[in-house]
Structure 1
Amino acid sequence: MDRNTLPILLISLTVLLFIPTTTFAEIRTTRIQSDARSLILFERFGFGNGGHVSVSLSEILISSPRPSPPDPDLLGFFLLSDEELLQAQSDSQNPNSDPTSDDCVLHSPYIQPLFTFRELSRGGVPDSFNKTFSVGARDEYRLYFAHCVPGVSVTMVVHTEMYNLDRSSGGPRDYLSIGETQLPLLFSLFAVAYTAILAVWIYFCFSNRLSIHRIHLVMGSLVLIKALYLVCAAEDKHYIKVTGTPHGWDVLFYLFQFLKGVLLFTVIVLIGTGWSFLRPFLQEREKKVLMVVIPLQVIDNIAAIVIGENGPFIKDFVTWKQVFLLIDVVCCCAVIFPVVWSIRSLRETSKTDGKAARNLAKLTLFRKFYIVVVGYLYFTRIVVYALREISSYKYRWVSVAAEEIAGVAFYAFLFYMFRPEEKNEYFVLDDEEEEAAQAALREEEFEL
């Protein structure tokens, strides 16, 4: 076997380690068809006390370019923790490492081997296998299939189950990772929070019916979709926790996830352009922003569904993750432009229309909106990701809680600043305010 094989495998493992992943914890049946990859990642799971992993194989077919069958000891499944992976990579780069050591990852001292194909051979021909293994150490592990035979391709159906048991009480299986078993309750609490925001919003709308604009109805739809999304997320995680499968809730989960993303970016663009508040139409360039953002959100959610439903075993998993991240960044950048255009337009208008107080109020409001939007997008895309990566696997729920807390704060600010009322910051005007605003605008222009 080529001595470069093990370093390549370790690099592949490290790439998969640092790609942000969705939880693939439910019971899953995967069909591998003529796959020649030497390393396939199936699952990632945080085990506590009483952790177990069950692997069932069927319809196994091994194709080799050589006339003799490959050594079954060179094909198998194993578990690997993140810490052990980093240690293995460090040792592989050590110039003092043993040059005569076995390069097959299945024989590495850092992995927790489950079984090789020798254990499932019948008369030298692989047939099927079904076995449950106890995971001794509490840690987050990834389940891999590997082979160390060049040119070999494998066809098989792999059924995996990962779960935790409470050893002290002998309780039911928990199919959620140890750091995410709190998610059903967490999503439920935030669903209640958004329902409360929706109730307050409806009250404001009914109390100020004469001041309602179309954007207020779109904003109400957004918070309704967000609440429904969290309800479906809570049910989805609950059924996965109890049974290992979402029982159809994933369909509604993906539907409301898509609607939530589209509506959020649409509301940011519409408010940023002043639609319905300042004017009843969108300019051509603003329409183009929406025509770019909405299709990108469709692609983004397709990528999310592919990742969530298929798991990391698919050949193009890394590509789909990159597409997902790239599109999300593009959408976040695109929705900022209408706000910047509005701020620039208000600065120009304030010099000519003689309504300094109104323009200053609008300009101040748009600046606040711009800062909050940028802060929210930065926090949920950068800070939450960093928090998820640096926190222990036992506290993975903390990053979810931080993201939802930021969401509640953002929605509360958005709905408060742009609530329907007879007198709001768009339309305040009196003589004293006009004189003060003119002075403020002159001072601002001088500073610029």
Structure 2
Amino acid sequence: MEGSLRLPLLIVILASLMSPSMAEIKTLEISDDSRQVILFENFGFNHRGTVAIALSGVSISSPAAAPAIDPSLLGFFLVSDESLIQAAYDSQQNPNPSSYPDCVLKSPYVDVLFTFESLSPPPPGGAYNNSFTVSHPDEYSLYFANCGPGAAAVTMSVRTETYNTLPDGSRDYLSVGKSPVPSLYTFFAVAYAVFLGGWIYLTMFQNRLSSHGIHYLMAGLLLSKALYLVFAAEDQHYIRQTGTPHGWDIPFYLFQFLKGVLLFTVIVLIGTGWSFLKPFLQEREKKVLMIVIPLQIIANIASVVIGETGPFIRDWVTWNQVFLLIDIICCCTVLFPIIWSIRSLRETSKTDGKAARNLMKLTLFRQFYIIVIGYLYFTRIVVYALGTITSYKYRWVSVAAEEIVSLLFYMFMFYMFRPAERNQYFMLDEEEEEAAELALREEEFEL
């Protein structure tokens, strides 16, 4: 029993730590939901922020033998990140559970907006509509709390609206730290469009005879990335202006899917040397593609569910876990073809008498392997850490860091495997051959 006294507050802390920043007008139906806390929004407010909540059709059901439910035990509240940190600190410093309230609505760390005592008429069929001003700038999480005894379940229609009022009186539905994101996406969309133009000139005109199938696939990757950023910028701008989801949903998710599939496919094909060093794929390499592409389809389905819903649905955490697990599997899978190519080049260098050529190829694939690992590590771990530890005012920094590193990765990969009329791997003299053979012997001795 004592452990349950702290449970509501701990659930709030954990849920807020894993929730993303969201900034849209949300309209949803909750049916027979008995969860203790439900997270609706996580939003960064300026000094003129507003939270608007409208409820209708509110009803509460409980087991027949249960006592009447006190309406003051159900309601909505805001809690800031600073208060969450203080609550977590106090929970560690004070081991006495009796000092914690058995309802999070009675915690000194939360700002209660209203309870079901304010509904008119009372449930069933209760309704409520009001706006609340957030005078202290910070990042807040909006929750519904249900401290009713037993298995009390709530049914209601909820409309939430969170926004900041700008000096000109207009509303900004993007969190403070996300306001620069549309401009960032627009900038990088232009950067990739210029990149694509240069790549087309290089492959189609300047070195057309030296271009291979992989180079045209790389052009498709740049195109899908540029279009994804265009629609992402439009999507975020539309949210900022209207608060409703979204602008062009289908193109956005389509190019998000194509971008992910083409990126992993290009990494796999370059890692195998397809088209650039050999015209065919081995059976095991085909299997890698047959694993990666379906996984990307599932990952994008999970991404759509996450993007179109929110933490208020029961399975939202599960969908996030599915997306994370699949992304990790894809990241690990695409490394195998590069490792296979490195091993193959090391073995053939001992027998085919072309030591210098193989040493150059071996060096190339080693560099590519390191760059891919660094890119995947940064975009999956460092970017998440930046989004977690930076102030809510600078959440755009993680977006900028991810796009900068992605652009640098693309530029490095495209430069390494660009079409060239005089390929350095085939223009080697006898002295380079002898030096390469010596280097390979030394490497074999070290291994």
TM-score (structure 2 length as normaliser): 0.95
Alignment correspondent of 2:365: 366
Alignment correspondent of 1:185: 183
Deviations 1:94-149 (A, max 9, x none): 44758376421111111111111111132564521111110121111111001111
Q: Distance in 2 between matches of 1:383 and 1:91?
A: 29
Deviations 1:4-25 (A, max 9, x none): 4441122222322332x44321
Give the unaligned 5+ runs of structure 1. Answer: none
Deviations 1:61-103 (A, max 9, x none): 2112146641111110001112212322333454475837642
Contact 2:231 2:251 in 1 (8 A): yes
Alignment correspondent of 2:330: 331
Task: Measure how far apart 1:361 and its partner are.
Answer: 1.2
Alignment correspondent of 1:163: 163
Contact 1:362 1:425 in 2 (8 A): no
Q: Which runs of 4+ in 1 moved over 6 A?
A: none
Alignment correspondent of 1:269: 268
SS at structure 2 position matched to 1:49: coil
Alignment correspondent of 1:110: 109
Contact 2:5 2:97 in 1 (8 A): no
Deviations 1:287-313 (A, max 9, x none): 111111111111111111111111011
Q: Distance in 2 between matches of 1:183 and 1:258?
A: 20
Alignment correspondent of 1:227: 226
Alignment correspondent of 2:43: 45
Alignment correspondent of 2:350: 351
Task: Measure how far apart 1:446 and its partner are.
Answer: 2.3
The 10-residue stretch of structure 1 (332-341 or 418-427) with the greater mean CA deviation from structure 2: 418-427
SS at structure 1 position matched to 2:98: coil
Q: Does 1:137 align with 2:136?
A: yes
Give the unaligned 5+ runs of structure 2. Answer: none
Deviations 1:353-390 (A, max 9, x none): 01112111111110111111111111111111111111
SS at structure 2 position matched to 1:23: coil
Deviations 1:168-205 (A, max 9, x none): x3421000000000000000001111111111101111
Change in Cα spacing, 1:325 to 1:120, as seen in structure 2 (3 Å) is same
Task: Measure how far apart 1:319 and its partner are.
Answer: 1.4
Deviations 1:205-239 (A, max 9, x none): 12111111000011000011000000001000000
- Amino acid in structure 2 at the alignment position of 1:417: M
Task: Measure how far apart 1:317 and its partner are.
Answer: 1.7
- Amino acid in structure 2 at the alignment position of 1:56: A
- Amino acid in structure 2 at the alignment position of 1:330: I
Deviations 1:212-269 (A, max 9, x none): 1000011000011000000001000000001112443232222111111111010000
Deviations 1:149-168 (A, max 9, x none): 121101111111100012xx
Change in Cα spacing, 1:18 to 1:424, as seen in structure 2 (3 Å) is farther
Change in Cα spacing, 1:100 to 1:398, as seen in structure 2 (3 Å) is closer
TM-score (structure 1 length as normaliser): 0.95
Q: Distance in 1 between matches of 2:64 and 2:406?
A: 57
RMSD of equivalent CA atoms: 1.7
Change in Cα spacing, 1:445 to 1:313, as seen in structure 2 (3 Å) is same
Alignment correspondent of 2:61: 63
Q: Distance in 2 between matches of 1:226 and 1:319?
A: 28
Q: Does 1:434 align with 2:409?
A: no
Contact 2:6 2:100 in 1 (8 A): no
The residue correspondences of 1:41-440 to structure 2 (distance < 5 A) are: 41-66=39-64, 69-95=68-94, 99=98, 102-122=101-121, 125-149=124-148, 150-166=150-166, 169-205=167-203, 206-440=205-439
The 10-residue stretch of structure 1 (67-76 or 317-326) with the greater mean CA deviation from structure 2: 67-76
The 10-residue stretch of structure 1 (79-88 or 384-393) with the greater mean CA deviation from structure 2: 79-88
SS at structure 2 position matched to 1:128: strand
Q: Distance in 2 between matches of 1:124 and 1:345?
A: 72
Deviations 1:26-76 (A, max 9, x none): 111111111111110111100111000111111222112146641111110
Contact 2:5 2:98 in 1 (8 A): no
Contact 1:75 1:147 in 2 (8 A): yes
- Amino acid in structure 2 at the alignment position of 1:282: L
- Amino acid in structure 2 at the alignment position of 1:194: Y
SS at structure 1 position matched to 2:178: coil
- Amino acid in structure 2 at the alignment position of 1:277: F
Q: Distance in 2 between matches of 1:91 and 1:23?
A: 26
Q: Distance in 2 between matches of 1:331 and 1:98?
A: 44
Change in Cα spacing, 1:94 to 1:359, as seen in structure 2 (3 Å) is closer
Q: Distance in 1 between matches of 2:350 and 2:132?
A: 74
Change in Cα spacing, 1:393 to 1:103, as seen in structure 2 (3 Å) is same
SS at structure 1 position matched to 2:356: helix
Q: Distance in 1 between matches of 2:230 and 2:385?
A: 26
Contact 1:7 1:89 in 2 (8 A): no
- Amino acid in structure 1 at the alignment position of 2:131: T
- Amino acid in structure 1 at the alignment position of 2:322: V
Q: Distance in 1 between matches of 2:304 and 2:115?
A: 32
SS at structure 2 position matched to 1:376: helix
Change in Cα spacing, 1:82 to 1:6, as seen in structure 2 (3 Å) is farther
Change in Cα spacing, 1:309 to 1:124, as seen in structure 2 (3 Å) is closer
Q: Distance in 2 between matches of 1:7 and 1:251?
A: 44
- Amino acid in structure 2 at the alignment position of 1:176: L
Contact 1:120 1:126 in 2 (8 A): no
Q: Distance in 2 between matches of 1:51 and 1:343?
A: 56
Q: Distance in 1 between matches of 2:169 and 2:372?
A: 45
Contact 2:189 2:227 in 1 (8 A): yes
Picking from 27, 30, 45, the partner of 2:28 is 30
- Amino acid in structure 1 at the alignment position of 2:158: V
